[in-house]
Amino acid sequence: MFNLSENLIYLKDLSIASLVFALLVVLMFIIFLGVRYTQYNKDTKKLMKDKLVRRAIRDLYVTLALVILSSFTLLLIQFKFGIVW
């Protein structure tokens, strides 16, 4: 039988786990952005700020979009088929 209350508990646990994972990804990219921000260009001896920051921010947005999409996909699969992870 399909037990809705039991599946909602698992759904809540999975959504909390997805949120924690997304926060860890954001933290990882903040650190990654700081590392890329301070890299030097050996030819010009200047900080490569603009290009690297834009690339790191774009990487962050793409990764966050993928995390959100995969989280919603997992939630949909679990809710649709009653799968317990």
DSSP SS3 for 47: strand
Measured CA to CA in angstroms, residue 12 lies from 22, 51, 63, 81, 83 at distances of 15, 40, 23, 16, 13
Condensed to tens digits (0 to 9), the pLDDT of residues 9-52 reads 666 666 677 777 777 777 777 777 666 655 555 555 555 566 76
User: Tokens at residue 48, please?
Assistant: 């490569």
- Residues 56-85 have pLDDT tens digits of 777 777 777 777 777 777 777 777 766 655
Tokens of 42: 């050996």
